[in-house]
Amino acid sequence: MKSIVTKLKQLNLTTGLFLKPTAVAVDIGTAMTRFGLDEKGIVLREPTFVGKNTRTGQILFFGNEAKDIYGKSPEYVSIIKPFENSIISDFDATVALISELLKKSIYPYYRSHLIKKGLAAYATVPTNSTEVEQRALQEALIKAGFQHAYLLEKPIASAYGADVPIFFYQPAFVMDFGAGTVELAVITMGGIVASKVLKLGGDYMDKLIYNYLHLKYGLVVGEQTAENLKNKLFALTDSKEVFPVRGKSLENGLPKSVRVTASDIREALAVCVNQIVDGIKELIETIPPEIIDGLIKSGIVLTGKMAHTPGLDKYISNEVKLPVIKARKPEDATILGIMKLVSEPESLKRVIIYS
């Protein structure tokens, strides 16, 4: 009798493990969407863009295809960023994009399984998101094809992906520099002590560069050209690099070429960088004094693509009097953090905000 009971228990345990949903790490950013699987790593990186037929309402282009024709599409095709400032701005476009990327990156692995266990999404939200915005993301993920959707706070995932010991009593300061927002957070023992979200990310910087060229050189360029200039020339060092740019003349609308320098880009973005530094100082002012000593030891960890900006770490360190360290893979810190947490169920339970 005992042997039968033991076998039944073993069968139930095995079945429970066997039918556990396949966990998918989902990092939907303003500029880039990433999917990850625990056993496969990061399986997708594509821009968060869709192309919509304004006459029929049909979504025609997704990801790379949509970004490639951004600014070049015919009038009836509207290129949309369904995520703005890390929050859903177009629900239907978000569902369509996630569904398409899911089919492209996850289904090939999922369909090879003998038994379909269902898909569980683990995604992040900014610390200033409302309950309505969080529920909207959950609903979008489920409508796109996931059976379950769980949410985490983005700074927690970013810090863990940057190998910061967030469950330790030692405080950690993470600065996630994204396309939509710059998110600042002080974390200790798995929770956020203080946070701040600044809408001064990469997209805002692109607009500043666009306006600067417009005013200084009388040159009209596209958003992708402004982004390219930022990626190539923006440095908080004494860089002397020059990059030729072609656009339209403001005077007569004819083609015009200008040689843009690194100092031009520094000048265009100087105010924005100083606003970010002011935001860091304001956040430090709000935290308990006992935490400051720990921050002097651990410093600020930079994540996000903009963390690669030459001289950014030293500039911030000089201004706020704290050491600043760039994460090993700053642009992938969030998705790596989600995957790492998913592989550690006990740690995951401590940080999930919606399940």
Q: What is the pTM of this model?
A: 0.90
The confidence band for 131, taking pLDDT boundaries of 50, 70 and 90, is very high
Please name the amino acid found at residue 62: F
Q: How many CA atoms lie within 13 A of 259 on its CB side?
A: 3
pLDDT at site 32: 96
Neighbours of 340 (CB within 10 A): 18
Position 354 scores a pLDDT of 73
Q: Mean per-residue pLDDT for 208-224?
A: 95
Residues 141 and 26: beta-carbon distance below 8 Å: yes
Residues 245 and 229: beta-carbon distance below 8 Å: yes
Whole-number Å distance between alpha carbons of 345 and 21: 13
Q: Tens of pLDDT along 23-54?
A: 999 999 999 999 999 888 999 999 999 999 99
State residue 118's pLDDT score: 86
Who's near 231: CB < 8 A, 6+ residues apart?
A: none
Question: 167-200: buried (b, 16+ CB within 10 Å) or exposed (e) per residue?
Answer: beebbbbbbbbbbbbbbbbbbbeeebbbbbbbeb
> For the segment 271-313, what is each residue's pLDDT rounded down to a tens digit?
999 999 999 999 999 998 889 989 999 999 999 999 999 999 9
What ranges do the domains of the chain cover?
19-156+334-354, 165-326
Topology of 19-156+334-354 in CATH? Nucleotidyltransferase; domain 5 (3.30.420)
Given a cut of 80, is residue 16 above it in pLDDT?
Answer: no
For the domain spanning 165-326, the CATH number is 3.30.420.40
Same topology, domains 19-156+334-354 and 165-326? Answer is: yes
| Mean of pLDDT over the chain | 91
**Using an 8 Å Cβ cutoff, are 298 and 170 in contact?**
yes
Confidence band of 1 (pLDDT split at 50, 70, 90) = very low
CB 190 within 8 A of CB 350: yes
Q: Does 3 score more than 70 pLDDT?
A: no
CA–CA separation, 258 and 251 (whole Å)? 14
Do strands 191-198 and 219-220 pair parallel, antiparallel, or not at all (unpaired)?
A: unpaired
pLDDT, average across residues 47-71: 93
> What would the mean pLDDT of 176-182 be, rounded to a whole number?
94
